[in-house]
Amino acid sequence: MDTINQQVQQNRRRTWLVMAGFILLIAIIGFAIGCIFAYQQDPFDIMIAVYTMIGFLIGAAIYSFFVYLNVTNILMKSSKATKLQESDDPQLFNIVSDLVLVANIPMPDLYLMADPSPNAFATGRDPEHAAVAVTKGLREMMNREELEGVLAHEISHIKNYDIRVSSITVALTTFIAGAGAVLIVAGISLMRGGRWFAWFGGDNDRRDSNNSWYIMLAILTFGFIIWLGGWIIRVIGVPIAQIMQFAVSRQRESLADVSGVNLTRDPQGLIDALTLLKNDTTPTTNPASKGAALYINEPVTRQGKTPFLVKMFDTHPPLDERIARLKRLLGEK
């Protein structure tokens, strides 16, 4: 079995593999959209597709860099979390300060989500720019030992640089989703513009009128293709990006469990916490949160179901499996 340090190094290498996969996906999307533009040329000009692909890659790099630098603000806003001061929750700050001292990392910012469902997550681009958020439900449900187990799990995500992987994948996934949305809106605008051109273009001259209708059809066709391309990205590209985003989650969670216990030297605290989470069915009030895939436990909707994509791609190992692994650390069967 790999040591914790070996697994941390694997996480860092996995970051580059995930980035390479996203770059390839974005390049394919950009090239496909470029082919739509190139198709309008006679003869077909492949360089238009290449230039469009390069433009997509440059746009993704700029956008992702911006999101990467601001990932904490983006995820905390999406999670409806408020930043805490030490006077707001002295016990929470005391637990985290002890854990970061053992982990030898800086103190992260702490946030509280007004959500009755018990959960928590860590984010940021590195240990020097990290944050941990807990829900109101988690804070009220757990005693000090259980809370310490959960927070040690989240501090381990920071120490192990899991948050860097998460930040990059969040940035690239939102870029792909945004590109699809922009193309859908652009396609609708072009189709509307084509109709207006037909109504007001040309004059009473028959030839001008026919030309106007030809131009209108060209604009409508191009708009429809752009609109269809946007939906293809939303229906195919975004799920693929989310699969890639979730690809590292199972090992990430298991590693954080074990390395979190290394911080507390008390597996029982996290075992008890995970058992409480396993038996809890309180629905989340914010199932659309961008940070949902980062939670310590899969969120549950008001209908008592795990969000489809989170469930479909198994972002977390089953709680029973995680509990059993921790019990083995105690020497239990």
Is 148 within any annotated ligand binding site?
no
148 labelled catalytic: no
* Rg (alpha carbons) of the chain, rounded to whole number: 25
Q: How far is CA 49 from CA 31, 57, 107, 219, in A?
A: 5, 12, 47, 20
Strand ordering across the sheet containing 120-124: 81-83, 109-113, 130-135, 120-124
Coil/strand/helix, residue 133? strand
Tell me the two tokens of residue 278: 């396993």
Strand 109-113 with 130-135, pairing = parallel
- Asked if residue 290 lies in contact with residue 75, where contact means CB atoms within 8 angstroms, the answer is yes
Distance of CA 152 to CAs 15, 155, 235, 255, 260, Å?
A: 22, 5, 37, 12, 5
Rounded to whole angstroms, the Cα distance separating 116 from 317 reads 23
153 annotated among ligand-binding-site residues:
yes
Instruction: State both tokens at 152.
Output: 């040690």
Residue type, 130: A
Q: Which two tokens stand for residue 123?
A: 């984010």
> One-letter amino acid identity for 109?
D
| CA separation for the pair 177, 18 (Å, rounded) | 17
Which of these is catalytic: 146, 148, 154, 298? 154
- Flag whether 129 is marked binding: no
Structure tokens at 124: 């940021």
- Alpha-carbon gap, residue 34 to 49, rounded angstroms: 4
Q: Which residues are annotated as a binding site for Zn(2+)?
A: 153, 157, 253
Q: Would you please indicate which residues are annotated as catalytic (active-site) residues?
A: 154
Q: Which residues are annotated as a binding site?
A: 153, 157, 253
